[in-house]
Structure formats: C-alpha cells, structure tokens
Amino acid sequence: MDDSGMTRAVVAAAYGGPEVLAVIQTPFAAPGPDQALISVRAAGTNPIDYKVYSGVMGQDPARLPMRLGFEAAGVVTEVADGAEGPSGPVRVGDEVIAYRITGAYADDVTVPLASVIRKPSTLSFQEASGMMLTGVTAVHALGVVGARAGRYVLIHGASGGVGLMAVQLAVAAGARVIGTASASGHELLREFGAEPVLYGAGLAERVRALAPGGVDAAIDCFGGDEALDTSLALVADRGKIVTVVASRRAFDSGIKVIGGAPGADPGTEIRAAARLELARLAEAGKLRVIVAATYPLAETAAAHRALATGHTRGKIVLVP
C-alpha cells in the first residue's frame, strides 16, 4: 500500500493461459464496519486460481480484469474498534489468515471479518497462507469417506497440497493411509505416517500388496484415469470414493465430486466450520504445511505453470 491509496495486485486481463496475467496498480477499498484491511505477507496458490481464468469454468467478459487468489496471511492494518472475527477480536497489528476471500494476490486486500482467522503462532506467513483451502478440502473429503481407526484409505496425489493435509488428518484419525506419489515424495509421506506407493502401471497391484485385506476408501487429489480406475477397482462402495478433480468420467461413475466446479458439492458449511479446528491443530503442532516454492507477485505466471504440472510437493506461495 502506498500513500495514494493504491496497491499492487495480480489480475487476469483476459481468459487464457498464464500469459494473460499482469501486475497492476489498483485502488484498495477502505474497510467498512464488517471488514478489515490486511497487509499481505504471503498468498497461497491453488489449481482453482488458474482454472477460473482459463475458461474451462465458463467465460464472462464482465469479470475482466479478474483479481485472483482465495487465501492469504498477513497483518491487519485497519479495522474498526471492537471488530470480531470467527476466532475472536480483530485488532490492528494482528497476524491473521484470510480465507475465503477475493483478490489475495496483492500487497493489500480488504476482506470480510467473517473470513479472518488468527494465524497460528507455529506457522510462518508463507505456511499459513497455504493452509486453509487445502485443509478445508481435506476435511470435506475425509468427511465423505469416513476415515477412522483401522480403515485403509488410499490417497492419490498424496504429496500435493490437499494430499498432505488429508494424509495428516487421516493418520491423526487412526486410519491406515496409503499415498500415491513419485519416488521423490515417498520420504515425506513416511514422515507423516503414510505408506507411500509409486503411481503408474501396476498401481492397483502395489496397493493390494500393502492392503491385502482391501481398501475401505479412496480420496483422489490428483485426477486422471489411473486414479479413478484404481479407486473403482479397489473400493467396493462407491460412496467411499471422493475426488477433488471434477471430470465427466468422475460424475458419470457415481462417485462423490467435491469443490468449486459446476455440479460438484461445495461443502460450504463443513468447510467454514473446519477453519478453526485446522488453526487449533496447527497451533498445537499437530498439522504442518509444506511450502514447495515461493515466487514474487511479478512471477505469478511462472508459479501457475509450476502449479499446473501437478507434481509439486506441498504448496506454491506468492510473496509480495
């Protein structure tokens, strides 16, 4: 933020690939009575961020230029006296997480007080900025499949942002977790209490070798035919299979599709309720966020290209 009331923000100037992104100077809104102004120290990136401007979820020229980013961590710089958020009073100088918001890719952002959660002291700003969207998605997915003690849960894409959250939460619930990942992600999965397995040809056989008694549930954080085919082959009850990656095949197969895609279950209430519990777990040292890489705002396009590969271990974070 500068003295002229302007701030830097990343926008999609058109629909397309990462090449349509630009950093602009834009006015910031003074906070109203139910809002806070936050100086952003880090903003989490998520696949939904590039999907909304790619055109795959529809195109509305009236939305352009489009501000990006649904979650951030930072410091409150302006808020009304007596302001309250879900985790209590909100005051100038507080270190907070803001989710779910609009326009997190910025130096400053005005957000509803309802989106402001106290930042766990155990997490850096970078870690905190990447906790909420992945965390609430993992909580939603685990709620669908009912992961609990003694059950085998297969998690596809276990070393990604949502996958790592789902692994930690499922292990904490007492489930036996098998996580698919490339070989480079196996050590991290073992550290979090999962049994890693290499994806690719023969995946179902490798999973059966780890769980000869069968797999009770599957969570697909990666997408693609292999994850879907393996889940359908190994889990008898399709109600115990959930994916966070919407596809025509996923809908047609009768499994649960969750998230922001058209036709998916957004899980609005369960996700909103999960925020305080995730923050509590992190504060207690029971939930970690792995930051795979950081990029400045000017390199958001590069961050999105890396994110789109689907092969990062943990979160990609923007640092203004």
The full set of domains in the chain, from first to last, is: 6-131+289-319 (3.90.180.10), 136-257 (3.40.50.720)
Of 18, 56, 6, the residue nearest 262 (C-alpha) = 56
Distance, in Å, from the CA atom of 80 to the CA atom of 205, rounded to the nearest integer, reads 59
CA 34/CA 37 separation, integer angstroms: 11
Residue 102 is encoded by which pair of tokens? Answer: 């609009």
Instruction: pLDDT band for 311, please (50, 70, 90 cuts).
Output: confident
Mean pLDDT, all residues of the chain: 96
Tell me how far CA of residue 146 lies from CA of 143, 196, 240, 272, in angstroms: 5, 21, 8, 19
Residue 205 has φ and ψ, to the nearest 5°, of -65, -40
pLDDT digits (tens, 9 = 90+) for 231-272: 999 999 999 999 999 999 999 999 999 998 889 999 999 999
C-alpha distances in angstroms, 10 versus 45, 68, 101, 298, 313? Answer: 12, 6, 14, 8, 24
Helices (H) and strands (E) in the chain, counts: 10, 18
- Between residues 32 and 311, which one has the greater pLDDT? 32
pLDDT attached to residue 198: 97
- Token output for 181: 């990942």
Range 99-107 average pLDDT: 97
Q: How far is CA 124 from CA 11, 43, 73, 77, in A?
A: 26, 12, 9, 18
Q: How far apart are CA 300 and CA 22, in angstroms?
A: 8
Half-sphere exposure of 272 (CA within 13 A, CB side): 9
Whose tokens are 């958020």? That residue is 85
The amino acid at residue 153 is V
> pLDDT tens, 9-28?
999 999 999 999 999 999 98
